[in-house]
Amino acid sequence: MTALVDVDQLEVHFTARAGLLRSMFGRETPVVRAVDGVSFTLGKGEILCLAGESGSGKTTTGKAILRLVEPTAGKVYYAGEDVRAYNRSKLRSFRQEAQIIFQDPYESLNPRQTVFNIVAEPLEVNNLCHSLAEKEERVARALIDAGLHNPQELFLRYPHELSGGQRQRLAIAGSLVLDPKFIVADEPVSMLDLSIRAGILKLMVDLRDQKGISYLFITHDLSLAWLVSDRIAIMYLGKIVELGSADTVIKDPLHPYTRALVSVIPAPRRKVITRQSLLKGETPDPVNVPPGCRFHPRCPVALPRCREEVPPYREVRPGHFAACHLING
Ligand code: SF4
């Protein structure tokens, strides 16, 4: 599969706010290592899921790829070009092709704008329509593509007059109107009722099949990841610890962290996971990343060397990568 997005050793480090005492005593300002050396590729028309607990760096990775936050180090290539080297005009066209869908459709939509104005705004900002008729046609097409039928009836409605599912479809229409090739979908169904989720996920997959859109699908819910993605990357404390095809990662997880996440998926056909796999404790603070394997304070099968040696991330089987001393021998 041809790569559309190629992420190479991406890092996003933030400077944490130093406390008064720390400043007075001249101590170093703490650094939050939100993303700490992440590499993967995303193929054309592929759905790759970034999964993990909150605080693992998934959303920051997605935003850094789109340059909504500036990376500290590493490279992001889009269609073979270095995104970090884009000039203003290249960045503008990249922003048309690469879109983001947020978790909360209500927060991401302007409550004072009508449905028509919300979807038409990206066309106006990018000066893409030459007449009102053309604009109306493109807005109507985007609404239909997002599964909102009878679009003209919705044109003058406001977000609060729509259901939760319709609002998320409206947010998706706001992305589709620019004919994107790449969408970062950040927990796109986590705020929706269970009954509505399946429809939105099906819409995303249909759009991939019909338009060849590639998705970076961000979720904390591995069962959703399994349902919609081609491949799954598991993130822990700023790093990818396992990556492989969705079926392989769920049915035959290699990393103890993945095994713990998989163990809570209610599915009859996945591998039986022992009680040892249950996670203990909270994700550590990304300001104080543990030495060695960063998962070792919570790992139920940690070895003494795990406290000192960083496990190499390597291809264990074709297309299946993991970083763990138990696997690497
Ligand atoms: Fe657990 Fe050690 Fe593997 Fe890390 S390297 S996941 S601590 S066994």
Ligand 1 mean position to 323 CA, how many Å? Answer: 8
Could you read off the pLDDT of 146-202 as tens digits, one per residue?
A: 999 899 999 999 999 998 889 989 999 999 999 999 999 998 888 788 878 888 899
Dihedral Cα 131, 133, 138, 142, nearest 10 deg: 140
The residue type found at 289 is: V
CB of residue 326 inside a 6 A radius of ligand 1 = yes
Residue 278 has what pLDDT? 61
Ligand 1 mean position to 234 CA, how many Å? Answer: 14
Query: Which atom of ligand 1 approaches the CA of 306 most closely?
Result: 2
Cβ-based burial of 188 (10 A; exposed 0-12, middle 13-18, buried ≥19): buried
Return the structure tokens found at 199: 């429809």
Ligand 1 mean position to 47 CA, how many Å? Answer: 28
Identify any residues that bridge with 287 across adjacent strands, giving them in sequence order: none
Nearest to 259 by CA among 268, 250, 267, 248: 250
Least confident residue range of 5-19, 173-187, 293-307: 5-19
Residue 60 has what pLDDT? 96
Neighbours of 126 (CB within 10 A): 14
Return the structure tokens found at 86: 């884009």
Residue 21 has what pLDDT? 55
Neighbours of 34 (CB within 10 A): 23
Query: Which atom of ligand 1 approaches the CA of 305 most closely?
Result: 2
CB of residue 327 inside a 6 A radius of ligand 1 = no
Percent of the chain with pLDDT over 70: 91
Query: Which atom of ligand 1 approaches the CA of 327 most closely?
Result: 3
Q: What's the average model confidence in pLDDT over 33-54?
A: 95
Return the structure tokens found at 264: 């809570």
pLDDT above 60: residue 284: yes
Residue 276 has what pLDDT? 47
Residue 329 has what pLDDT? 46
**Which of 118-127, 241-250, 285-294 ranks highest by mean pLDDT?**
241-250
The closest residue, in CA terms, to atom 1 on ligand 1 is 302
The closest residue, in CA terms, to atom 8 on ligand 1 is 302
pLDDT above 90: residue 313: yes
Ligand 1 mean position to 54 CA, how many Å? Answer: 20
Query: Which atom of ligand 1 approaches the CA of 257 most closely?
Result: 6
Query: Which atom of ligand 1 approaches the CA of 256 most closely?
Result: 6
Ligand 1 mean position to 294 CA, how many Å? Answer: 8
CB of residue 198 inside a 6 A radius of ligand 1 = no
Ligand 1 mean position to 256 CA, how many Å? Answer: 7
Residue 252 has what pLDDT? 94
Average pLDDT value for the chain: 89
Q: How does residue 255 score in pLDDT terms, banded at 50, 70 and 90?
A: very high
Helices 194-211 and 164-176: angle between axes, nearest 10 degrees: 20
Strands 73-78 and 3-15: antiparallel
Q: How does residue 127 score in pLDDT terms, banded at 50, 70 and 90?
A: confident
Q: What's the average model confidence in pLDDT over 274-279?
A: 56
Q: CA-CA distances (angstroms) from residue 19 to 25, 34, 55, 204?
A: 10, 20, 21, 44
Residue 24 has what pLDDT? 61
Ligand 1 mean position to 42 CA, how many Å? Answer: 27
Could you read off the pLDDT of 16-28 as tens digits, one per residue?
A: 765 655 656 666 6
